[in-house]
Every structure is written in structure tokens, then in C-alpha cells.
Structure 1
């Protein structure tokens, strides 16, 4: 199964505890052999005596000083590694509580049960690892595996997995059967009838971009090509497809953008500005017509003022 730091610490503490208990058992058996060789009689069960003293320490019936003395008497000088075994047990219990309240650990446990329920035919380790990496994000991921050697015996191995979900390559054969069938039909289905390609740019934007270099008689493709001059286009948007849920999601920090550099405007002289204004209003005749209309509006305004204001009375 795959686990996180919390689960790794639990297995490490469990391993350390049983290493110390195994040390107590081995040294107790060695002390019994020495007692049997010297006294030619069966010695007391020193390992059982050690477990009894340990339970009394955990229950608070004896203190640490008496526990150390009992360990030296039962096991010998190698009992120094057992003097802090109570603190190790308390630390293991706290770690168990942390694992019980860890949401990520619970999700990893549910994922393990889901993968095991598939059986030998549906279980794919690469898919399992990719799903575990998706749950862990940037946190450390551990592979915890029990290697069976003999019936009832085995070796527990813990391996720190390098990389994240972006470095886990799931082979095509590891896809879900339903998704693989859908993908096969999609790739082998005949293409749909061709339709007219939608225009990328609005017509007014094409005219505006190519107005400075437009010439009569140019084709529509030439105008679109001229509109792309001095344009920077970057297609960097990425998406990923889940082989399990068939959902598409965009990758963070990826984007598409289009940038057009505007041309610098050249300053115009006063004569050019006047000529351009005259051309925009119809030339010299247009200026004369505007002057006449302005004069007529001024006369009508003055007449309206004169008609609306009564003459001043003489005193």
C-alpha cells in the first residue's frame, strides 16, 4: 500500500518497539541458558517476568527506578535499551491517534481497499501509484509492502517514492476498461462532415489591422495574413484527462495569449492636419457650407433673443 508521513512514522515506531521487545526476549533466553549451565536446573521464565514488570510500569504500580532494577536482574547488562520503552509505547499510542484523525491517511486507506477489491485481474500498480500521488500532491509518498518468505513470515519494506504525480507515467494498458473502450471507439469512429471553419478574428479587427498596408484587389486571405503581422501568439494552455473518471481539467499556471504590437503614430504637420480635416469634411466646399450653416444659426439665435426680451422703458 501507499502511505504518507503519518503512516510511515507509525510503522517506524512499531518496528522500533518490537526490536526492543525482541532484544529483551533474546537476552532473557541467553540468561536462562547461563542459569541452566550453572545450576543444572530449569530457570524461571525471565521473559515472562519482564513482561509482567512492563505491564506494572504502564499501569503505574511501579516507578522507572524499580523497573530498571528488575530489567537488570532478569535480562542483564543489555537491558539498557529497555529503560525508555514506556515513552516509546506512549509515543506509539499518540501516533495511532494521529493516524485515526488524518484525512489524507483515511483516503489512502480507502484507496488501498478499492485497489485490493479489484482482484488480480484489475489491479495495476502504476494506476494505484498515480492515484496515490494525486491525493498527496507535493507531500512525501511511501510504498509499504510485505514480502512473504515463508508461511506466516515475511519482511516489511518501506520505500520513499521519488517525484510527484507529474512524473508518474501510466501506460496505455493500465487504463480502465470502460475508458479504454470509449477511447477506442472515439479514435476509430469516422470523422464528422466537414464544416466551414469559424473565423478567428472579427472583420472589423482585420480591417483595422491591415488598413495601413491594405491595397485594392487583395484577397481575404492576404488581409488576414497582414493582420497577423507583428502579432505574438503562444499556445501554452494544457489539460489533463483522467483515465478513471474521463474528466478533463486544465493544468495550473498554463495559458494561451495573443499580443499585437501597435505601430507608433508619426507626428503630423499643421498643413497635413488641415488637409486631413478638409478631406474628412468634403474639401473646401464642405468648409464653406459649414460656415454658412453656422452663420444662419447665429442669426436665428439673435432674432430669438431680440423677440423674447422687452424693450427698456425710459424713465
Structure 2
């Protein structure tokens, strides 16, 4: 967020100071904000399906941005090494217009330096979302900058649109709003995180928070999200909780089922009439019966050929 250096107030896109959004005000005093900048801390959040899907989409977005950013950094390093080698070994200083591919007119010179590939990529994504460029132009520009590594960002606009739709579900769905309100309420009780070394002291509060979340999300999945910040890195763990009520089976039905299984497994309960019927006409699977008849015909054919040979 841009901040006015003179007043410290947030700036709008047109440079005019504005108040922070409501979501910023709601979450400004949460455990996550208080623990920001600290190490060996965690934050706890119980969410439903819509919140979980949003988190997964957000993770995919971050992974794609990281892939593109890492590729841009690698290309910058390769370009610098190549220019350094040409300057030290060949004694020449080359700029971007001296590329052999450009000199042979195999490609047009780009208006963007390799050092600005990642910022240019972000600008293209914004232009694509705003409808200022079409998808084919966007993909061609990405291929020209990131070559075979550009495919990961081809559907960036669809991913961002899915995230926006998921955010709309979060702010409009009643259960999602209740999940957020529950988190804010439990944060005031100290049940949403803190120092890792003192987590056991909050076990009762966190258990109460979990029971309330499971009761709230009894009709859908309940996920336990933990944001753990340790050694300068943030790790997100996800656990699917079992919110189904443990209903014991009806004793009468259980006894009937047990008797049925026992009779089925025991041969002593077979009536004499049934045994006599099975002895006269045994029960076979059709495929086994066909296999036996085929073997019998083959054996009879061999015996017949043997008799003809002896005669």
C-alpha cells in the first residue's frame, strides 16, 4: 500500500489520501498483525470449504509469481555473465540491439530490458485483466521474454478471476462471515496464536475455539490452518478435521447383523433339504462351468485319438 511520506496516511491511486479499508481495520489488532516481524510464532484459523479453496488458489498464484520471478532473476544473471565474458575475453561491449538474432532479423528488438522483465510481466497481467491487450498478444510477449518457461503464466488472468469470485463467496456466504467473526472473537480471547514455546498454555482456549468452529461448520468440511513463522520463513499447515458425530449403532440392529454373519459363515445351519438339492445340482459360476466342460471335451478328444492310434 502506498503511504504519504509527509503524513503517513495511505494514498489512493490518484495520490489523494484515503482511509484504510474496512478489512484492514477489522484485522489490524489480530494476533497475525501483532506477531508480524516476530519469529517462532504461529497463527491459528479454522475455515470452511470456501476459505480453503481461496487459500489454495492464493497459493497457486504465489507459486506462479515465484516461478516467473525466479526465471527473470536467472535470465538477468545469464545476461550479466555473458556480457562480462564478452567484455573480458573478446574486449567488446554489447547492448541489447547487438544480439545475433536481432542483427539477423530473426526477432524484433524488445523495448524492455532483461532487468525489467518481471515488472513488465506484472504490467501485462494488469493490462490483460483490464482488456487493454488480448490473450494472444500477452502470450507472445511472455514467450519472447521467458521462452519455454512462460507457459506457467498463460492462464494468470483466469486464476485471478477465480480468486476474485472466491472472495465474493467469502464476503457474501453466511457461514464464511460467521467463520471470520468467530476468528475475530476468539482472537480477543487469545485463542488464535502466539509464541510457539507457549502454545501449551493456550491448549484449552484453542480446543474451545475448535469446538465452536466444528459446531459452526457441522454441515461442511472444517479445516485447521496454522501459519507458522520460524527462522525467517512462513509455513502453512492444513488439516482436515472430522466433524461427523459419533453415533453408536442400534444394539438390536447390531445383534441382527451379527447373527446373520454368523449364520452365513457357519455350515452347520444349512438345512438337510438344501444340502440334498445342492448335492444333486451343485452351484457353479458360469465361467467355471464352461471351463470344466471345455476340459472334459478336451480329455474325451484325447482319449478318442489315443484309441484310434492303438487300433
For normalisation by structure 1, the TM-score amounts to 0.49
Report how far residue 166 of structure 1 moved: 5.2
Give deviations 1:50-78, integer Å, cap 9, x for gaps: 11211111111111111111111222211
Per-residue CA deviation, residues 17-43 of structure 1 (Å, 9 max, x unaligned), is 111111110111111122222233784
| 2:16 counterpart residue number | none
Cα distance in 2 for partners of 1:145, 1:70 equals: 39
Q: Where is the helix percentage greater, Structure 1 or Structure 2?
A: 2
Q: Does 1:141 align with 2:222?
A: yes
Extract structure 1 runs of 4+ deviating beyond 4 A.
Answer: 120-123
The separation in 2 between residues aligned to 1:133 and 1:77, in whole angstroms, is 46
Give the gaps of 5 or more residues in structure 2: 1-44, 85-94, 96-112, 192-200, 248-311
Q: Deviations over 1:169-212 (max 9, x none)?
A: xxxxxxxxxxxxxxxxxxxxxxxxxxxxxxxxxxxxxxxxxxxx
Rounded Cα–Cα distance in structure 1 between residues aligned with 2:211 and 2:245? 6
Aligned mates of 2:246, 2:187 — CA distance in 1: 24
Aligned residue for 1:210? none
Q: Give the secondary structure class of the aligned counterpart of 1:76.
A: helix
CA contact (8 A) 1:36 1:43 kept: no
Write the distance in 2 (CA, Å) between the matches of 1:87 and 1:108: 27
Matches within 5 A, 1:1-315: 1-40=45-84, 43-119=114-190, 124-151=205-232, 153-164=233-244
**Distance in 2 (alpha carbons) for counterparts of 1:63 and 1:39:** 34
Larger-gyration structure (1/2): 1
Root-mean-square deviation (CA, aligned residues, Å) is: 2.2
Shift of residue 10, structure 1, vs aligned partner: 0.5
Q: SS of the residue aligned with 2:220?
A: coil
Q: Which has the higher contact order (CA 8 A, sep 6+)?
A: 2
Q: Are the counterparts in 2 of residues 71 and 79 from structure 1 also a CA contact under 8 Å?
A: yes
Gaps of 5+ in 1: 168-315
SS of corresponding position for 1:119: coil
